[in-house]
């Protein structure tokens, strides 16, 4: 049976789409079982519906507090038989209760090469810092925002005339490769988390990262 994914979104949902697209291959070992959004107008909801995937909108203000909101999310994920929760542009911080309920079964994609540039506006900050490389990270979620064991990273070069938008587009293209790869590694049972490090069985370690040519 394929690993069942619960994807949490707040907006566009292009990373959700990358996971949906990957799962159209019957050989891909995971499938999106449920998409939960905290925003009713998130464009990603339409992507899920178009693919025939169950969606759920849970607005925080419809609940007494954060604990109640998260309890509803946990109940929905459990009853959908979800084995891995993927944050894909989910713009709310998760509490320690949620993080421990899904410990090591909860991953996030972040648009920088962590631990550089946690938080928002990563592309602006990478350009302002004069970074020559930028990229994205798929990591296991821990309570502190944008921390946790790193599973997959992809690097792209920063060119002198990059704008935040041009750099974001180059990184996003890599996000759409990195997230399905990370999920596949987990679904194939090849990933072990130990402390702050992740070991991937049967992976070839390249001698160098070859950045795509612009
Ligand atoms: C992505 O850049 C992701 O890395 C970050 O939020 C953005 C979500 O984009 N966490 P999308 O909704 O997947 O298109």
pLDDT of 206: 64
- Distance, CA of 121 to CA of 109 (rounded, Å): 14
pTM: predicted TM-score of the whole model, two decimal places: 0.96
In this structure, which topology does domain 1-102 adopt according to CATH? Rossmann fold (3.40.50)
Predicted confidence band of residue 25 (pLDDT cuts 50, 70, 90): very high
Determine the Cα–Cα distance for residues 106 and 97; give it in Å rounded to an integer.
13
Q: Please tell me the distance from the alpha carbon of residue 126 to that of residue 117, in angstroms, as a whole number.
A: 7
Cβ–ligand 1 contact at 6 (below 6 Å): no
Side-chain-facing half-sphere of 203: CA atoms under 13 Å: 19
Ligand 1 geometric centre to CA of 51 (Å): 19
| Predicted pLDDT at 214 | 43
Sheet arrangement for strand 133-140: 54-57, 30-37, 3-9, 84-87, 106-110, 133-140, 150-157
pLDDT at residue 55 greater than cutoff 80:
yes
Residue 155 has pLDDT above 90, yes or no: yes
Local confidence band at 64 (pLDDT 50, 70, 90 cut-offs): very high
How far does the centroid of ligand 1 lie from the alpha carbon of residue 205, in Å? 27
pLDDT of amino acid 202: 84
Residue 53, phi then psi, degrees to nearest 5:
-100, 140
> Which CATH fold would you assign to the domain 109-214?
Rossmann fold (3.40.50)
Average pLDDT over residues 163-181: 97
Residue 109 in this model has a pLDDT that exceeds 80:
yes
Model pLDDT, residue 203 = 76
110 is an active site residue: yes
Q: Is the CB of 135 under 6 A from ligand 1?
A: no
Domains 1-102 and 109-214 share a fold: yes
Question: What confidence score (pLDDT) does residue 195 get?
Answer: 94
Sorted by sequence, the CB contacts under 8 Å of residue 165 that are 6+ apart come out as 123
Q: What percent of the chain has pLDDT over 90?
A: 93
Q: What's the mean pLDDT in 137-166? A: 96
Whether ligand 1 lies within 6 angstroms of the CB of 139 is answered as: no
Per-residue model confidence as pLDDT tens digits over 173-188: 999 999 999 999 999 9
Residue 205, pLDDT > 70, answer: no
Overall average pLDDT of the 107-130 stretch: 98
- Tell me which residue of 53, 101, 45 sits closest to 73, measured CA to CA: 101
Residue 99: pLDDT over 70: yes
Boundaries of every domain in the chain: 1-102, 109-214
């Amino acid at each position: 049976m394929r690993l069942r994914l619960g994807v949490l979104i707040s907006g566009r949902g292009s990373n959700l789409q990358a996971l949906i697209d990957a799962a159209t291959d019957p050989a891909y070992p995971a499938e999106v079982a449920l998409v939960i959004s905290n925003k009713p107008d998130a464009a990603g909801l339409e992507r899920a519906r178009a693919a025939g995937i169950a969606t759920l909108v849970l607005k925080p203000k419809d609940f007494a507090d954060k604990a109640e909101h998260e309890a509803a999310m946990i109940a929905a994920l459990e009853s959908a038989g979800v084995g891995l929760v993927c944050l894909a542009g989910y713009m709310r911080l998760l509490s320690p209760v949620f993080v421990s309920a899904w410990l090591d079964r909860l991953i996030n994609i972040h648009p920088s090469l962590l631990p550089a540039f946690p938080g928002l506006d990563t592309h602006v900050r990478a350009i302002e810092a004069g970074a020559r490389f930028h990229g994205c990270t798929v990591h296991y979620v821990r309570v502190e925002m944008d921390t946790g064991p790193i599973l997959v990273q992809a690097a792209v070069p920063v060119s002198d005339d990059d704008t935040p938008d041009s750099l974001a587009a180059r990184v996003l293209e890599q996000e759409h490769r990195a997230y399905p790869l990370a999920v596949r590694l987990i679904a194939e049972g090849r990933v072990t988390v130990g402390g702050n490090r992740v070991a991937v069985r049967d992976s070839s370690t390249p001698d160098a990262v070859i950045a795509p040519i612009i």
